[in-house]
Chain A
Amino acid sequence: MTQPATQDLITVNIDGREIAVPRGTNMIEAALRLGIDVPHYCYHPKLSVAGNCRMCLVEMGMPAVDPATKAPVIDPATGRKRINWIPRPTIACSTNAVAGLHIRTTSPLVRDCREGVMEFLLVNHPLDCPICDQAGECKLQEQATGYGRGYSRYIEQKNAKPKRTLLGPRVMLDDERCILCSRCVRFCKEIAKDDVLGFTDRGSYSTLACYPGRRLENDYSLNTVDICPVGALTSTDFRFKMRVWFLRQTNSIDTGSSVGANTVVWSREGAVYRITPRQNDEVNDTWMADSGRVLYKAIRAHGRLDAVRVDGAQSALEFAVRAAAGILGVGGVAVVGSGRSSVEEQFLTRKLRDALGASASLVSRVGKGDGLLVSADRNPNVRGALVTGLVAGLPAASLDPLGAQIDSGAVKAVVSVGEDLADAGLSAAQLAKVPIVYLGTHANPTSAAARVVIPTLTVFEKSGTFVNQQFRIQKFANAVPGVAGATDDLVALARLTAAVGGPSLGGDVRSIWKQIAAEVPALAGVGYDGIPDTGLLLDGAPWAGLAFAEGPSLRFRPADPPQKEAAGRG
């Protein structure tokens, strides 16, 4: 059970059990490794230590040492080292491992400390549970149940503070619930680098606030809602919509950019209610951008394609595939794939391209990276297209070359997998000139101009993988069933490929992976089920010469630019 204390490992003793932890580990984390819960509010592993809630108070002791010989004193009754327990309790969050450290978390003193702190926290806390969003995931509820006294002795008037204050467009503040842990203030200052929150007034009347006239509106404001241990900060989008204990959690990925922040999609009976970050210390820590949280609204947005159409008339998938095969069989086909497609979809798109003897391109989506969790590449999976060989280089800035080829007649038909060609630069005339087969989720000029429209699924309605800017392949799973009328992208692509004379492939993730593992060098030997929840780092060396657009993110440093690109980068 005990590990030898090697260079940077220090052995501590918690409740009689020993564990070796790296230097700098605090006692909340050390106890966690032993499966011991040290309750806390203000401590957060990714923020600076504040030490103000006092809930994590524990007893601390060091072995007694004979002052003359420096030898440890042994208690004759037990035969074990005598520990000098310090009468004043200490906070576990700021107590770091030192050799010989002993911690007690279950003594009468610690129990009294916890009951005391719980009682104090509840003294001015409003009885809002029946109307508070946090119920079911509220640390106050959990720790009152686990460590509180269970009854109240408070008969005075509670402090009244402003309720329902809109701190920003996405965050609502109910000040009476606030326990002044300062997590939100520290987050805004240290992580979002937007020092906009603070405490006003003093003592028990202290109140969280923005400067009047300023708002909490940075692209990370909703993380404060995630980390608020109580219901003081709530999401205006999610407020009053659903009790959390009814919601099912599904792992997913933020498709807003190539960062690939890990997320959890919360759904019930086919509807998504909210998206929150999922911890991945290699990618996004415990955070995500606000912009990624609203993406689920696309599922039911106006313009969602819900019917297979051939030449405008509603049809069935079988006929659409046959019609598409006819259109594409004339030759001179351009395949427009997507950096938003999954690795599996890109693999099948490549099969389609090969079967058609066509060229393939992606649509570029470059913006300004924020240095945190939104990178300059707003496509989540360009690297998946590189890895699968769908494309050999980065997407061109625009689809003008394709437009020219359409004009010249070199390209006689286009199949677009989820990309609006008008948005990518083609003119209405060009869209009208060639027959288009469109697979996508929402209506747009391309779907309107297309002869064959096959509605497909959003990321929330299917499973697959993306490769992020680190060349990390990460899985996402379907949270809700697809809308009626939509077809799984993999099914559509597989049928299309077979219909134009390509190989017959399975239309589901696992059977496709058998091909992928066999044919894609970067993914050789990787099994879909073997990809851990935190992703798998691939070797990006074959593409090291490409001029990727991304700058640094929270957990990403771009490789040095290749020498030959140093001058005159396009």
Chain B
Amino acid sequence: MNLTPETLRKIDEVIPHYPVKRSAVLPLLHFVQEEQGYICDEAIEWIAARLEIQPINVYELVTFYPMLRRKPVGRRHIRVCRTLSCALMGGYRTCAEFQSQFNTGLGGVSPDGEVTVEFVECLASCGTAPVVMIDDRLHEHVDPARARALSQEIKAAAPAAGAR
């Protein structure tokens, strides 16, 4: 299991925070996903062994929490809130705009590998609806026009096709 020294350091630091080792499973899953982009089989078994629990105990969590992924996502991760306040302000149209900009469905990776577009539940910023998270940043008041602009930014920042 090839984790970077930085990730291993973070793991070693976080485990003693808890009187019971098993509590560290979520932090470890976050660290591994931040480094590798998703949680693979090997990661589940490695984390289970590290915390002296069974692989099923880790697997149960990875499949429960929507933020933990078993497969990689596109280079940019676009999460559109679909809950009531954002929907009232047009969140569904925003999502449709992103999908159309990258010619992609919900979930999965777009044909150019750039994005994964998905719906998520309330992101706790209802006053500035519709909101969208792109990677770790929250974008507010994202109507279809703003979605178009953000998509252009993503495409402009994409590595040149040859460089990939």
Contact = CB atoms under 8 A, between A and B. Distances in A.
Is any CB of A less than 8 Å from a CB of B in the complex?
Answer: yes
Interface string A197-218: 1111110000001111110000
Nearest to A206: B64
Nearest to B66: A202
Contact of A200 (B41, B53, B54, B59): B59
Nearest to A200: B63
A212 B63 CA distance: 13
Question: Main secondary structure on chain B at its contact with chain A?
Answer: helix
B56 interface: yes
Contacts, number: 33
Q: How large is the interface on B (under 10, 10 to 19, 20 to 34, 35 or more residues)?
A: 10 to 19
B60 interface: yes
B57 A198 contact: yes
Contacts of A197: 56
A195 B64 contact: no
Contacts of B41: 212-213
B56 A202 contact: no
A210 B64 CA distance: 15
A201 B59 contact: no
Q: How large is the interface on A (under 10, 10 to 19, 20 to 34, 35 or more residues)?
A: 10 to 19
Interface in A169-216: 195-202, 209-214
Nearest to A207: B63
Interface string B106-122: 00000000000000000
Contacts of B55: 211, 214
Interface in B44-72: 44, 53-57, 59-60, 63-64
Contacts of B59: 198, 200, 209, 211-212
Question: Main secondary structure on chain A at its contact with chain B?
Answer: loop
Residue from A199, A200, A209, A214 whose CB has the most chain B CB atoms within 10 Å: A200
Contacts of B54: 195-196, 211
Contact of B63 (A195, A196, A201, A213): A201
Contacts of A209: 56, 59
B57 A195 contact: yes
By Cβ-Cβ distance, the 5 closest A-B pairs, closest first, are A200-B63, A211-B55, A211-B56, A198-B56, A198-B60
30 contacts: A195-B53, A195-B54, A195-B56, A195-B57, A196-B54, A196-B56, A197-B56, A198-B56, A198-B57, A198-B59, A198-B60, A199-B60, A200-B59, A200-B60, A200-B63, A201-B63, A201-B64, A202-B63, A202-B64, A209-B56, A209-B59, A210-B56, A211-B54, A211-B55, A211-B56, A211-B59, A212-B41, A213-B41, A214-B55, A214-B56
